[in-house]
Amino acid sequence: MGATMIGLVKEHRGPGAILKEVPIPTCGADEVLVRIKATSICGTDLHIYNWDAWADKTVVTPNVFGHEFAGIVVEVGERVTGVAIGDYVSAEGHMVCGSCKACRTGNAHVCPNTRSFGITAPGCFAEYAVVKATNIIHNAPDLPFEIACLQDPLGNAVQTVLSGDIVGKSVAIIGVGPIGLLAIQVAKACGAGTIYAADINPNRLELARQMGADVTINAMETRISKAVREMTDGEGVDVVLEMSGNPQAIVDGFEAAANAGRVSLLGIPTKEVSLDLTNQIIFKGLRVEGITGRKMYETWYQMKGLLNQKRIDLAPVITHRFTLDQYEEAFQLMNQGQCGKIVFTH
């Protein structure tokens, strides 16, 4: 396509980012070029912006970052089929090899050769982005751009909730940042029983109530496991969805789980977590699930079913809208935890 665009670039291996003019990416033979209409900030983007140990070990620089988007296809490569100019799309952000054992046994979401859009490959905090055609997801025409760009984190919530039986089960969602909030609606839509939401942020607990949580627990005021057991006649909950990554919250989650229950772990701890494996996992007969990304592409079709049939309403989780040049204010809000999902409109 040639020419240049404005992009939010992680230029230096340290805190912050720079909004600058960069070349519009070139569309390869098996790729499509998308005009970005909306993007949203992920917790991963915050790690990149703040530049923690994970980012230093993982992220490629200099690069446009960001990986949650919706937009319109403006160019297609010569070998592309099934995607056309003018299509309204989002995309799976994990670019996998397709030939390893994981990929060939239906587990491409844990492909060891994955390249990640906006992390190890150029992303979408820009006017245009290039995406592998095989990763493209077509959106329903009536799905607003700002909702369509939330499908990546929604997929994390869907995979976490549906990694085991949920119908009629009591559920504790620990950490109600944006993905935790989305998980509340997904669990409710999929037939969960009582939903307990735990966090240390009163604003997010209020959002959790709006999203459908039956009970909220302020972890600054009471220990999560103690509160859950008191409210379940000492039994604990059938399902624990750990979204915070906080080491103490993870320990509390295992303690709050009922015997023969399930614990699904999505939150990423910043340090090692010490667990009583004997008493809290083995003797309790727990099933433990590690969750990464979305199943390719089962989770996307599950999301489509929920969104297209209006089983879930993502609008309440969006608390702020900015243009890309307001990125500093947006990331400041993220760091303060005083927001739900932040969307950049393009």
Q: Tell me which residues are annotated as active site.
A: 44, 47
Q: Is the dihedral of CA 174, 180, 184, 186 positive or negative?
A: negative
pLDDT number for residue 271: 82
pLDDT number for residue 268: 86
Q: Is 334 exposed, middle or buried (0-12, 13-18, 19+ CB in 10 A)?
A: buried
pLDDT number for residue 1: 60
Q: Kindly give the residue spans of alpha helices, DSSP state H, lying in the chain.
A: 43-50, 53-58, 101-104, 145-148, 151-161, 178-189, 202-211, 224-231, 247-256, 277, 298-308, 327-336
Above 70 in pLDDT, residue 285? yes
pLDDT in tens, 179-214: 999 999 999 999 999 999 999 999 999 999 999 999
CATH code, residues 4-150+314-345: 3.90.180.10
Quick one: what percent of the chain has pLDDT higher than 70?
99
**What average pLDDT does this structure show over 298-324?**
95
Tokens 């500093």 map to which residue? 328
Above 90 in pLDDT, residue 335? yes
pLDDT number for residue 337: 85
Reported confidence tier of residue 228, pLDDT bands at 50, 70, 90: very high
What is the second-level CATH architecture of the domain 157-290?
Answer: 3-Layer(aba) Sandwich (3.40)
**What average pLDDT does this structure show over 21-45?**
96
Distance in angstroms (rounded) separating the CA atoms of residues 174 and 15: 28
Quick one: what percent of the chain has pLDDT higher than 90?
95
pLDDT number for residue 248: 95
Q: What is the mean pLDDT of the chain?
A: 96
Coil vs helix vs strand at 69: strand
pLDDT in tens, 48-92: 999 998 899 999 999 999 999 999 999 999 999 999 999 999 999
**What average pLDDT does this structure show over 303-327?**
95
Domain with CATH 3.40.50.720 in the chain: 157-290
pLDDT number for residue 2: 64
Secondary structure of the chain: what % helix, strand, coil (to 5)? 30, 25, 40
181: its two tokens: 């909030």
Above 80 in pLDDT, residue 270? no
Domain with CATH 3.90.180.10 in the chain: 4-150+314-345
Coil vs helix vs strand at 135: helix
